[in-house]
């Protein structure tokens, strides 16, 4: 029940409280597309399709891992899965630890029947490998979702701020390596909003991880989330002190792509619209993940979710059209995106 109550708290706080980073940004504001006044394109023929981990997507969007384990979470995941299937978007679920501990809530995650064709990503905290979790529990999470990959999320700051958090991260890289070797699906390493550096991404890929989700700073601060639900003064203060800790998403993305040019790469962390998704693709991401906008829309209705995706796709299409780019790959051409200070990328 403790884990289940924590999941309910997380949903409530993210929906009702201001827990966004206050000073640090995702970094995409430093980049601007070069406008093309004569695109020589038919907007109706612009292509948003792409592939990720061998699966076709209708747009380069991942509905990032958010929730599970409660009645509200089941409603949200159901709506997300239906809309993800409709538009052929990738989707992750929140940490499935609660379902491993309490199989009675497994149905709040089990959305494969609603989304038979899309990439679905299971999710567990990597630190749980130091708390009696192993291959069996990871397989349980994958099987429950009939998942195409397993996200191992890395969240040392969140665990430090969380009351009674799991803070033994010693020796995890070797355990991740052994898990990658034995699991029948790829492993995606993901932060939760504080970023993955280039050097750490290299270590994770060397250990056998298939893909990286940089999940940088600039969006929801999980230090602030845990501060809101902290049970003592020390933890509340820790959350406020470290509210803006981390590496901006754009900086992580550029650095990781520079050292790992061929690795499947997800940009998430504070993305709020299709323009930022397009910037992420131009800077080297294969797909871009968003959480809070989808959470807010799913909490409202399935119709609101449809409206959100239509807006996001229209925004990405507009970027392509107004840069003279017929497809996503063309966004990476020299001169299409530039730093505002003139450093072209």
Rg (CA), the chain: 19
What is the bridge-based pairing of β-strands 149-154 and 120-125? parallel
Please give the pLDDT value at position 344: 44
Say what the pLDDT of residue 341 is: 74
| Fold of the CATH domain 2-339 | TIM Barrel (3.20.20)
Helix, strand, coil abundance in the chain, percent, nearest 5: 50, 15, 40
pLDDT of residue 342: 53
DSSP letters, 144-212, are: HHT-SEEEEEE-HHHHHHSTT-----TTHHHHHHHHHHH-SS-EEEEESSS---HHHHHHHHHTT--EE
CA dihedral in degrees (192, 229, 125, 60; nearest 10)?
-30
Q: What gap in Å lies between CA 120 and CA 264, rounded to an integer? A: 15
Question: What residues does each domain of the chain span?
Answer: 2-339
For the chain (345 residues), the mean pLDDT of every run of 10, in chain order, is 83 94 96 98 98 97 95 96 98 96 95 98 98 97 98 98 96 98 98 98 98 98 95 95 98 98 98 98 98 97 98 98 98 95 54
Q: Which residues are CB-neighbours of 167 under 8 A, at least 6 positions away?
A: 127, 156, 159, 160
Helix axes 2-16, 292-300, angle to 10 degrees: 90
- Do residues 183 and 150 lie in contact, with contact meaning Cβ atoms separated by under 8 Å? yes
Q: CA 312, CA 280: separation in Å to the nearest integer?
A: 14
**Structure-token pair, residue 236:** 């509340």
Q: Give the position of tokens 């529990």.
A: 137
């Amino acid at each position: 029940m403790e884990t289940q109550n924590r999941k309910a708290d997380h949903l409530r706080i993210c929906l009702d409280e201001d827990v966004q980073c206050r000073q640090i940004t995702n970094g995409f504001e430093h980049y601007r597309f070069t406008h093309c006044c004569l695109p020589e394109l038919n907007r109706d023929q612009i292509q948003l399709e792409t592939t990720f981990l061998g699966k076709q997507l209708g747009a380069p969007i991942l509905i990032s891992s958010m929730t599970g384990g409660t009645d509200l979470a089941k409603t949200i995941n159901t709506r997300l899965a239906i809309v993800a299937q409709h538009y052929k978007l990738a989707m992750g679920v929140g940490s499935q630890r609660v379902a491993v501990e309490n199989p009675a809530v497994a149905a709040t995650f089990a959305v494969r029947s609603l989304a038979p064709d899309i990439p679905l990503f299971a999710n567990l905290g990597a630190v749980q490998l130091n708390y009696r979790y192993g291959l069996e529990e990871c397989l349980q999470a994958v099987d429950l979702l009939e998942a195409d990959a397993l996200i191992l999320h890395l969240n040392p700051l969140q665990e430090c701020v969380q009351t009674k958090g799991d803070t033994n991260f010693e020796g995890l890289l070797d355990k991740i390596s052994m898990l990658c070797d034995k699991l029948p699906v790829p492993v995606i390493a993901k932060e939760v909003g504080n970023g993955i550096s280039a050097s750490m991404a290299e270590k994770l890929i060397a250990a056998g991880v298939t893909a990286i989700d940089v999940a940088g700073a600039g969006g929801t601060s999980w230090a602030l989330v845990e501060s809101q639900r902290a049970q003592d003064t020390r933890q509340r203060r820790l959350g406020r002190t470290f509210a803006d800790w981390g590496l901006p998403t754009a900086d992580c993305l550029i650095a990781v792509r520079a050292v790992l040019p061929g690795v499947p790469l997800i940009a998430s962390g504070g993305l709020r619209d299709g323009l930022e998704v397009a910037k992420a693709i131009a800077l080297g991401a294969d797909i871009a993940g968003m959480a809070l906008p989808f959470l807010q829309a799913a909490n409202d209705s399935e119709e609101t979710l449809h409206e959100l995706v239509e807006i996001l796709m229209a925004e990405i299409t507009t970027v392509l059209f107004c840069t003279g780019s017929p497809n996503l790959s063309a966004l990476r051409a020299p001169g299409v995106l530039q730093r505002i200070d003139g450093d072209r990328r």
